[in-house]
């Protein structure tokens, strides 16, 4: 047995180790180590939010974390770093309403939201709001530092199932406080020495951000006794450091390395001047570190070593699998000891010597018969099988059939099985009763097994990469090597840090793959404290005691520390010191693995090393990646934050103003070392001169920085922690102080920049030069560093470098340094450690030249002739400008102009003078308005000011109400450097954009203004009712009757734009002709009447909506339906009320409509045959259904004429809606709804009847009769029974079973016409439209079954498939035969909601239905957020794939979803009542998979450009028409 780790003290016999076994038990209790804090930071945070607001209280910061639909963070947001809670703030968790995670969702986190102390396994809960119409937000009060986990738990699809979402993590930075300092520069920018009052410690305290840490590593064994430490503190303070990193100060082991700790709970007594007791030593250490903080402004951080201890400590026996590794280790040292008296070489002088020794070692190892650890003992195996067979103790073989298999095959099977006897009986059935024979057979199998095992032994032992001792042998190891031989710790190249390489099945020790530390043995914690209570308690007491003394930890060898150990230890440490700062050095090999350690352990900073950069380009990349801060001109703070009012997070307490900022994920904070204490010096790696340039570049990084005294003092070589016995020389800021004076200025300026918020930076590399420009984001004041790197030895010339030009910026020289070495050998000293004789040279001031080019001023910095490699210069730079924008009260028309306007719309409105902005090499913007600028275009704005001019000109020329941006943009163009123009342009644009968007939303209904962002995005997606953008943006193609009235309910009525709805209704009513409203309005100049479907919703939703029926309507055409021009005197010559118009529509349909379109022929429609211009519509008075259309024309939305000559479809209709005299189900139900409404709601405004001619006789039909007739006929004629085995069902309905291809559906039409009867039975997405409009016509169970079928077969990500057949269709006809159209989706959701809540799962639990249907909105929600058109498309290819010919945004696609959301909003109170009733939830509906139809021909649906759709189908347009508002006389 070999000890891998130390785990118990009970067996220790070494006197030197005995002190560790007599620690009082009460000191080693695992629980309760951290002191109890009566009033925790979480308690204080809660009290803050419950207390009244104080005078001068600043707005609360709210950090908004948006989760994915499944309740987890996306990859970028899996780790969130939050700032210190100097004042409590809010972490807001946001989730889209209706997403899966909102279904009875509960947010859980181990942050103590309700007060009390943090416990890793104790979770606070917040129930997610269940309102489908409002944003789902949970506000979490953050009050203290630490590492926290969260997730959302919610109901799954199966009954009773609870789903735990993906975990996310947020780390809160600790609060670090130190004394403030005076400036390191004089008022005239000269560096001040301490004697001159520079950087003097001030009485007041400041909060030090992590980026303000400037840390110096000190090795205590190289310092004088503790009484002399003050001079080291003074030196570090004078050089501008804010924190000291102490290597372990504990009692060291035999090697004398600080990292080989002998007793973790005792300080090394050699540090103290006199003999001292351990308790007194601890107190004295606390005192001196407190003095360092208070008198010198230095925080203290120390290493915590958790995974190993000194090899002269303690042990027990526990890990037998390492026995062969121990024997190999022993054999190697036996071999080494035998070399002296042998013929083998003892001094290596050639490769032959190495080969000779390796061959001899191989023979020596063979003599140890180590293969016996691998192979099976053949005789013993044979005897064991014989014994089992003879005793009839055989376990039967139940694996695969092995009868008749060869010995080799059986050996392969036996490698994974231990049932030897049973296996043999099953394999050799012919000798199953012969025990001797079966045992002999097993012997042959074992021989085969041993072949591979022997080969494995040879492979594991053939080469050893290291001859370092892998085991430490304590006293007693000679007699009991298993107990007193300890596995040394170390590390492995490219190892998985989550795998313990000392546990099975690892062979790392056996194969000598570990790079060992011979003075450290590995600690064995096990999987939990119960595995090793003593060790856990002992190490936890060590960690807690350090946390009480130090401000921070560096986790030594963090990547090899078991995560569960590190987490528990740091949790305990943070209880003792809630604001403990933790940094670590990770060698995991991947940033993803680094992130795992960071978020689990709560590591505040990861060590990064500037010395790893091999050339200037790589160095600049490292600084950009880890030390940039934000890029200069960054727009996130200016453009993404918003000001709101914060509701009390605990339900009580006052509301507070807040600033909301989105969280987009974090990368681990960096601590950038110029050099660490265990890396080679720059003299060895690069050049000595390079140190100065590295010092400058690193300190200009916006991150924590760190150094080592040997770097500042120019030590020529890496010091050996074990062997070095000399002590530091304290040189302060004197002549021989190396980089001391330069570091003072650099660290001082850096501290001031961080505290002043100079968080924006720019890194630029030019040959061997690296420039870093750092500025304040608002004042634009900053500093510029110019560094001449010296990666390789060169002459002392400045080299080639271009002048540094800063546009519209003033610069002043601050200081510069060069370094000159008289020798590259350090002075020899046996007592003190000395650095190279390097002289720091103060460079003379550089005059900055102010110049002008093309009228634009700039400053030019020319690098002086004397600027040798390694030199640095610092300049103060300044440029200032501010920009604001205010928004006056604008109506929705103005706001549409400001926010949107597609290219065609803008050209139409400006007579072609203004079009969408075209960016060279990038293309056109999506919109002319501010929505088009929401992707800031850095490049183009740096080159010129065209974007400013464009924005101003288009708005000034089109509205008088818009705020004047000219002066703001003029200031930016005049005063702002080119590199900052994008930022200030974005500030102005985003400010106006947000104000305009807010102004628009506030003019809409409460449903929208208080709704979630999806509702608001839908409401703003198509603020005009253009048929679609960009294809239908202007002229005759802009305004379609069908599109307007489908869109009117959602975009006008649910949003509260009742006046706009009223104007549209009256405008279209004025154009009534032939009993029809126009399909194409064409600004009422040339309306076209070829549509027979329209809705009727205004009177249901508008306040006092019924009053619109009495509104006068001036009629565009004479009463005899004759065609007159819009400006003919007979136009608008007579007036009707709207009620009379509706009565006329119904009467004309009841009597029958028959006419030929005006201007029939190719000029009207090139795709139509002559007969297609004949319009015939009538009512079948046996059913009440409206019939109409022919194979030559298109009467409903799903009709389209073919356009392909090659396919023979030109001027032919494909859809059944255009054939014969079919009764369209949607039209039938639309009229059924209308006549039913007229007979009930409108009875006071209408004549209650129509007078059709039936069988040659006039008769009177009341609307009630007409409605009842449709009601009685509908199911009989349209429903296809679900059960084909029951002929009675078919008999009750009009069904031709030979034509049925899918049952349980509603026919798309009835009566398609001779030869087309089969098309009645197509499954298309029109029936849900009818269900939403007239649900009373449907039998509820039938309806729900058909909807579930459509859900499975027709529903796509963004719309509904228009046909289920996998059939290629040529151009024109493919428009409605396969593409997934957006607008029917909303009707489907409304219909599903209605019927499922009546007869489906929603009847028992409405939440089931609402959650299920809201899942269908996830893709549209994402699309509208991410698409540059900020809307929903007209149609898509299969499975939501992009279709290039589709309109990118269309009114009715958004409108019908708004309609659905409006209906769910009205159910919120019902939902609350249901939840209060405590009913049990029922099983969710199944989540269906979609069909596999392909629509390869869809790409040709619309050919815009030559504009085949517009020109060929409808003829040329002529002059551009007027808008609807200007062409209709004022009512």
pLDDT band per the 50, 70, 90 thresholds, residue 1521: very low
> Residue 1123: is its pLDDT beyond 80?
yes
Quickly state the pLDDT bin for 1529 (edges 50, 70, 90).
Answer: very low
Paired tokens of 206: 């400041």
Q: Could you give the CA distance from residue 1468 to residue 1301 in angstroms, rounded to a whole number?
A: 40
Summarised one tens digit per residue, pLDDT across range 1102-1121 is: 566 788 888 999 999 999 99
DSSP per residue, 499-533: S-TTSTT--TTTTT--EEEEEEEEB---SSGGG-H
Q: Yes or no: say if 776 and 880 are a contact pair by the CB < 8 Å rule.
A: no
pLDDT score at 96: 86
pLDDT at 892: 63
Average pLDDT value for residue range 636-641: 68
Question: Are the CB atoms for 1425 and 1366 separated by under 8 Å?
Answer: no
Higher pLDDT, 342 or 1024: 342
Assess whether pLDDT exceeds 70 at residue 29.
no
Query: Which percentage of the chain shows pLDDT scores above 70?
Result: 79
Cα distances from 1348 to residues 1305, 1351, 1486, in angstroms, run 10, 5, 9
pLDDT of amino acid 66: 92
3 state DSSP class of 13: coil
1351 confidence band (pLDDT: 50, 70, 90): very high
User: Which residue from 66, 211, 119, 289 is spatially nearest to 604, judged by alpha carbons?
Assistant: 211
| Cα gap 304→298, rounded to integer Å | 19
Q: How confident is the model at residue 1248 (pLDDT cuts 50, 70, 90)?
A: low
pLDDT band at 1305 (very low <50, low <70, confident <90, very high): very high
More confident residue, 32 or 922: 922
CA distance 101 to 156: 9
Backbone angles phi, psi at 1504, to 5 degrees: -90, 145
In this structure, what token pair is assigned to residue 167?
């975990």
- Show the tokens assigned to 331: 């054999």
As a whole number of angstroms, the distance between CA 695 and CA 1163 comes to 79
Distance CA 1420, CA 1227 (A): 28
pLDDT digits (tens, 9 = 90+) for 699-713: 999 999 999 999 999
Least confident span in 128-142, 271-285, 518-532, 1421-1435:
518-532
The three-point CA angle 1003-1008-1012 to 5° equals 135
pLDDT, tens digit, for every residue of 937-955? 444 445 556 666 777 777 7
pLDDT value at position 1531?
A: 23
Is the pLDDT reported for residue 291 higher than 80?
Answer: yes
Q: Looking at residue 1010, what is its pLDDT? A: 86
Is residue 644 predicted with pLDDT exceeding 80? yes
Query: Is residue 935 over pLDDT 80?
Result: no
Q: What pLDDT does residue 1044 have?
A: 85
| Beta strand pairing call for 214-218 and 704-708 | parallel
At residue 1499, does pLDDT exceed 50? Answer: no
Q: Average pLDDT, whole number, for the chain?
A: 80
Check whether 464 has a pLDDT greater than 50.
yes
**Pairing relationship of beta strands 214-218 and 243-246 according to DSSP bridges:** parallel
Q: Token digits for 655?
A: 């509301």
Residue 600 has pLDDT above 60, yes or no: yes
Q: What is the pLDDT of residue 929?
A: 74
Token pair of 1157 as six digits? 């379109």
Encoded tokens for 623: 């600084």
Looking at 282-346, which runs of residues are DSSP E strands?
299-304, 308-310
User: In whole angstroms, what is the distance from residue 612 CA to residue 1405 CA?
Assistant: 62
Q: What angle do CA 225, 226, 232 make, to 5 degrees?
A: 95
* Phi and psi angles of residue 1337, each rounded to the nearest 5 degrees, phi first: -75, -15
Whether 1371 contacts 1214, CB under 8 Å: no
Ranking 188-197, 346-355, 509-518 by mean pLDDT, the lowest is 509-518
**pLDDT tens-digit series, residues 367-380:** 777 777 777 777 88
CB-neighbour burial class of residue 340 (10 A; exposed 0-12, middle 13-18, buried 19+): exposed
Buried-exposed string 1288-1322: b where 16+ CB fall within 10 A, e elsewhere: ebbeeebbeeeebeebbbbbbbbbbbeebeebbbb
Distance CA(45)–CA(48), nearest Å, equals 5
Task: Write out pLDDT tens, residues 187-199.
Answer: 999 999 999 999 9
Calpha distance 1003→1013 (Å, rounded): 16
Whole-number pLDDT of residue 894: 66
Q: Tell me: the pLDDT tens digits for 1265-1288?
A: 888 899 999 999 999 998 766 667
pLDDT of 1043 reads 84
Q: In the chain, helix, strand, coil percent, each to 5?
A: 40, 20, 45
Spatial contact of 1213 and 1196, defined as CB atoms under 8 Å apart: no
1007 versus 18: the higher-pLDDT residue is: 1007
Asked whether the predicted pLDDT for residue 297 surpasses 50, the reply is yes
1140: left (phi over 0), alpha (psi -120 to 50) or beta: alpha
Mean pLDDT calculated for residue range 113-122: 91
Q: Using 50, 70 and 90 to split pLDDT, how confident is the model at 1506?
A: very low
Secondary structure (DSSP) of 1431-1479: S--SEESGGG---TTS-SB-HHHHHHHHHHHHHHHHTHHHHHHHHHHTP
Report the predicted TM-score, pTM, of the whole model to 2 decimal places. Answer: 0.74
**Using the 8-state DSSP alphabet, how is residue 1479 labeled?**
P
Flag the least confident range among 251-255, 316-320, 388-392, 1185-1189: 316-320
Which of 1-15, 49-63, 544-558, 1381-1395 is the least confident region? Answer: 1-15
Q: Which residue has the higher pLDDT, 967 or 657?
A: 657
Q: What are phi and psi of 170, to 5 degrees?
A: -135, 135
What is residue 378's predicted lDDT score, i.e. its pLDDT?
Answer: 78
C-beta separation of 982 from 934 below 8 A? no
Residue 1430 token pair: 């900020």
Arithmetic mean of pLDDT, 510-518 = 71
Backbone φ and ψ of 637, nearest 5°:
-65, -40
**CA 1010 – CA 1004 distance, rounded (Å):** 10
Return all residues near 7 (Cβ < 8 A) that are at least 6 apart. Answer: 316, 318, 523, 524, 525, 526, 531, 532, 534, 535
Residue 322: is its pLDDT beyond 80?
no
Q: Would you please indicate which residues are annotated as catalytic (active-site) residues?
A: 556, 559, 678
Which of 597-611, 628-642, 873-887 is least confident? 873-887
Residues 110/118, Cβ–Cβ less than 8 Å: yes
Give the Cα separation of 835 and 825 in Å (integer): 8
- Please check whether residue 546 is in contact with residue 362, taking contact to mean a CB–CB distance below 8 angstroms: no
Cis omega (within 30 of 0) for bond into 21: no
| Among 424-433, 982-991, 1102-1111, 1476-1485, the least confident range | 1476-1485
Q: What is the pLDDT of residue 807?
A: 78
- Least confident span in 438-452, 621-635, 1191-1205, 1473-1487: 1473-1487
- Percentage of residues in the chain having pLDDT higher than 90: 35
pLDDT of 17 > 70? The answer is no
Q: At what angle do helices 1340-1353 and 1383-1399 cross, to 10 degrees?
A: 140
Q: pLDDT value at position 963?
A: 57
Burial class (CB within 10 angstroms; exposed 0-12, middle 13-18, buried 19+) of 1198: buried
Pairing relationship of beta strands 838-842 and 810-821 according to DSSP bridges: antiparallel
pLDDT at 895: 64
Report the pLDDT value the prediction gives residue 983, as an integer from 0 to 100.
66
pLDDT single digits (tens) 64-117:
999 998 889 988 888 999 999 999 999 999 998 888 898 899 999 999 999 999
Across the range 981-998, mean pLDDT stands at: 72
Lowest-confidence pick of 623-637, 801-815, 1243-1257 = 1243-1257
pLDDT at 1272: 92
pLDDT at 1352 over 80: yes
Q: Are 261 and 766 in contact (CB under 8 A)?
A: no
> What kind and span of H or E run contains 639?
helix 636-640
């Amino acid at each position: 047995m070999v000890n891998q780790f130390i785990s118990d003290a009970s067996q220790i016999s070494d006197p030197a180790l005995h002190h560790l076994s007599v620690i009082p038990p009460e000191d080693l209790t695992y629980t309760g180590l951290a002191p109890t804090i009566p009033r925790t930071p979480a308690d204080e945070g809660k009290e803050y939010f419950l207390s009244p607001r104080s005078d001068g209280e600043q707005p609360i910061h709210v950090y908004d974390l948006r989760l994915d639909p499944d309740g987890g963070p996306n990859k970028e947001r899996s780790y969130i770093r939050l700032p210190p809670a100097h004042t409590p703030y809010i972490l807001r968790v946001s989730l889209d309403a209706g997403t899966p995670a909102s279904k009875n969702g509960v947010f859980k986190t181990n942050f103590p939201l309700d007060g009390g102390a943090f416990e890793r396994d104790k979770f606070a809960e917040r129930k997610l709001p269940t309102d489908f119409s409002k944003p789902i937000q949970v506000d979490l009060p953050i009050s203290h530092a630490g590492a926290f986990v969260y997730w959302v738990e919610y109901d799954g699809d199966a009954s009773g199932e609870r789903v735990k979402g993906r975990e996310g993590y947020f780390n809160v930075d600790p609060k670090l406080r130190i004394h403030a300092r005076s400036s390191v520069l004089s008022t005239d920018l000269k560096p001040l020495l301490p004697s001159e009052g520079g950087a003097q410690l001030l009485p007041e305290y400041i909060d030090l951000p992590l980026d303000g840490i400037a840390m110096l590593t000190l090795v205590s064994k190289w310092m004088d006794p503790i009484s002399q430490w003050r001079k080291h503190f003074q030196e570090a303070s004078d050089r501008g450091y804010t924190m000291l990193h102490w290597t372990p100060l504990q009692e060291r082991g035999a090697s004398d390395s600080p990292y080989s700790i002998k007793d973790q709970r005792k300080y090394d007594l050699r540090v103290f001047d006199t003999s001292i007791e351990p308790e007194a030593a601890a107190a004295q250490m606390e005192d001196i570190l407190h003095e360092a903080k208070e008198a010198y402004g230095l925080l203290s951080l120390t290493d915590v070593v958790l995974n190993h201890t000194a090899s002269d400590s303690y042990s027990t026996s526990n890990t037998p699998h390492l026995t062969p590794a121990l024997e190999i280790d022993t054999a190697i040292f036996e071999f080494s000891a035998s070399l002296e008296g042998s013929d083998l070489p003892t001094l290596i002088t050639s490769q032959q010597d190495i080969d000779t020794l390796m061959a001899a070692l191989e023979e020596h190892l063979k003599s140890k018969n180590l293969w016996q650890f691998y192979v099976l003992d053949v005789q013993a195996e044979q005897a064991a099988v014989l014994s089992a067979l003879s005793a009839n103790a055989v376990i039967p073989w139940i694996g695969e059939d092995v009868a008749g298999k060869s010995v080799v095959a059986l050996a392969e099977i036996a490698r994974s099985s231990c049932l030897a006897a049973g296996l043999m009986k099953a394999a050799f059935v012919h000798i199953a009763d012969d025990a001797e024979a079966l045992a002999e057979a097993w012997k042959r199998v074992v021989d085969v097994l041993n072949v591979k095992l022997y080969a494995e032994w040879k492979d594991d032992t053939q080469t050893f990469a290291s001859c370092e001792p892998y085991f430490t042998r304590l006293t007693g190891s000679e007699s009991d090597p298993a107990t007193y031989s300890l596995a040394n710790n170390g590390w492995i190249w490219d190892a998985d840090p989550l795998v313990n390489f000392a546990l099975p099945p690892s062979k790392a020790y056996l194969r000598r793959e570990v790079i060992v530390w011979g003075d450290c043995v590995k600690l064995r914690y096990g999987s939990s404290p119960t595995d090793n209570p003593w060790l856990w308690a002992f190490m936890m007491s060590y960690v807690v005691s350090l946390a009480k003394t130090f401000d921070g930890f560096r986790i030594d060898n963090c990547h090899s520390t078991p995560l569960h150990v590190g987490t528990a230890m740091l949790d305990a440490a943070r209880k003792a010191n809630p604001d403990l700062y933790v940094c670590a050095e990770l060698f995991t090999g991947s940033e993803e693995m680094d992130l795992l350690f960071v978020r689990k352990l709560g590591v505040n900073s990861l060590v990064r090393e500037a010395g790893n950069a091999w050339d200037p380009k790589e160095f600049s990349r490292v600084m950009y990646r880890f030390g940039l801060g934000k890029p200069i001109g960054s727009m996130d703070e200016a453009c993404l934050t918003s000001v709101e009012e914060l509701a009390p997070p605990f339900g009580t307490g006052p509301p507070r103003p807040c600033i909301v900022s989105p969280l987009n994920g974090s990368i681990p904070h960096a601590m950038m070392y110029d050099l660490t204490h265990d890396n080679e010096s720059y003299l060895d790696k690069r050049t000595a001169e390079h140190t100065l340039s590295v010092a400058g570049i690193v300190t200009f990084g916006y991150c924590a920085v760190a150094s080592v005294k040997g770097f500042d003092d120019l030590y020529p070589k890496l010091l050996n922690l074990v062997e070095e016995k000399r002590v530091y020389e304290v040189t302060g800021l004197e002549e021989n102080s190396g980089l001391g004076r330069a570091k003072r200025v650099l660290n001082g300026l850096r501290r001031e920049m961080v505290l002043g918020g100079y968080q924006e930076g720019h890194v630029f590399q030019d040959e061997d030069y690296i420039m870093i420009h750092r500025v304040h984001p608002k004042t634009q004041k900053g500093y510029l560093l110019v560094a001449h790197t010296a990666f390789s030895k060169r002459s002392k010339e400045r080299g080639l470098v271009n002048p540094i030009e800063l546009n519209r910026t003033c610069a002043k020289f601050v200081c510069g340094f060069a370094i000159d070495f008289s020798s590259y050998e350090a002075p020899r000293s046996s007592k003190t450690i000395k650095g190279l004789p390097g002289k720091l040279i103060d460079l003379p001031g550089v005059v900055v030249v102010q110049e002008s080019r093309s009228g634009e001023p700039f400053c030019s910095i020319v690098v002086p002739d004397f600027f040798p490699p390694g030199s640095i210069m610092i300049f103060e730079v300044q440029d200032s400008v501010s920009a604001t924008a205010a928004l006056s009260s604008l109506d929705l028309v103005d706001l549409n102009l400001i926010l949107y306007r597609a290219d065609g719309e803008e050209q139409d409105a400006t007579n072609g003078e203004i079009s969408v902005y075209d960016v060279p090499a990038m293309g056109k913007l999506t919109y002319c308005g501010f929505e088009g600028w929401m992707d800031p275009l850095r490049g183009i704005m740096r080159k010129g000011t065209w974007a400013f001019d464009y924005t101003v000109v288009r708005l000034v020329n089109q509205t008088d109400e818009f705020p004047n941006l000219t002066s703001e943009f003029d200031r930016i163009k005049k005063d702002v450097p080119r590199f900052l123009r994008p930022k200030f342009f974005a500030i102005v644009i985003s400010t106006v954009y947000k104000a305009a968007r807010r102004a628009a939303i506030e003019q809409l209904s409460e449903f929208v203004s208080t709704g979630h962002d999806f509702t608001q995005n839908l409401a703003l997606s198509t603020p005009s009712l253009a048929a679609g953008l960009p294809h239908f943006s202007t002229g005759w193609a802009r305004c379609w009757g069908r599109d307007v009235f489908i869109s009117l309910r959602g975009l006008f009525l649910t949003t509260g734009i009742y006046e706009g709805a009223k104007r549209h209704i009256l405008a279209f009513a004025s154009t009534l002709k032939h009993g029809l409203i126009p399909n194409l309005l064409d600004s009422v100049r040339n309306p076209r009447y070829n549509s027979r479907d329209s809705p009727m919703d205004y009177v249901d939703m508008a306040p006092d909506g019924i009053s619109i029926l009495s509104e006068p309507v001036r009629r565009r055409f004479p009463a005899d339906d004759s065609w007159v021009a819009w400006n003919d005197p007979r136009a608008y010559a007579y007036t009707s009320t709207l009620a009379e118009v509706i009565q006329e529509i119904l009467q004309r349909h009841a009597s029958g409509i028959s006419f030929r379109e005006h201007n029939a022929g190719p000029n009207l429609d090139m795709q139509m045959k002559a007969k297609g211009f004949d319009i015939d519509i009538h009512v079948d008075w046996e059913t009440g259904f409206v019939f109409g259309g022919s194979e030559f024309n298109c009467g409903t939305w799903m009709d389209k004429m073919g356009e392909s000559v090659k396919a023979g479809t030109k001027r032919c209709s494909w859809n059944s809606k255009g054939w014969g005299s079919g009764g369209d189900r949607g039209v039938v139900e639309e009229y059924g709804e209308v006549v039913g409404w007229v007979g009930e709601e409108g009875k006071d405004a209408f004549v209650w009847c129509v007078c059709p001619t039936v069988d040659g006789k006039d008769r009177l039909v009341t609307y009630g009769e007409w409605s009842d007739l449709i009601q009685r006929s509908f199911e009989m004629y349209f429903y296809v029974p679900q059960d084909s085995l029951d002929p009675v069902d078919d008999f009750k309905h009009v069904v031709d079973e030979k034509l049925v291809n899918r049952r349980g559906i509603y026919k798309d039409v009835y009566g398609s016409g001779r030869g087309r009867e089969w098309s009645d039975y197509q499954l298309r997405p029109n029936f849900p439209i009818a269900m939403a409009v007239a649900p009373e016509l449907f039998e509820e169970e039938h309806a729900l079954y058909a909807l579930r079928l459509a859900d499975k077969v027709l529903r796509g990500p963004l719309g509904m498939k228009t046909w289920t057949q996998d059939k290629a269709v040529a151009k024109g006809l493919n428009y409605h035969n396969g593409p997934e159209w957006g607008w029917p989706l909303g009707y489907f959701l409304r219909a599903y909601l209605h019927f499922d809540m009546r007869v489906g799962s929603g009847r028992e639990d409405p939440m089931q239905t609402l959650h299920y249907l809201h899942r269908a909105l996830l893709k549209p929600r994402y699309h509208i957020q991410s698409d540059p058109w900020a809307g929903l498309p007209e149609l898509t290819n299969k499975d939501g794939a992009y279709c290039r010919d589709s309109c990118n945004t269309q009114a009715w696609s958004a409108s019908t979803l708004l309609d659905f959301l409006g209906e769910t909003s009205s159910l919120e109170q019902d939902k609350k009542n249901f939840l209060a009733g405590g009913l049990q939830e029922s099983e969710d509906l199944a989540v269906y998979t979609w069909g596999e139809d392909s629509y390869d021909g869809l790409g040709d649906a619309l050919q815009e450009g030559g504009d085949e759709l517009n020109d060929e189908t409808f003829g040329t347009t002529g002059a551009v028409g007027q808008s609807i508002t200007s062409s209709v006389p004022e009512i």
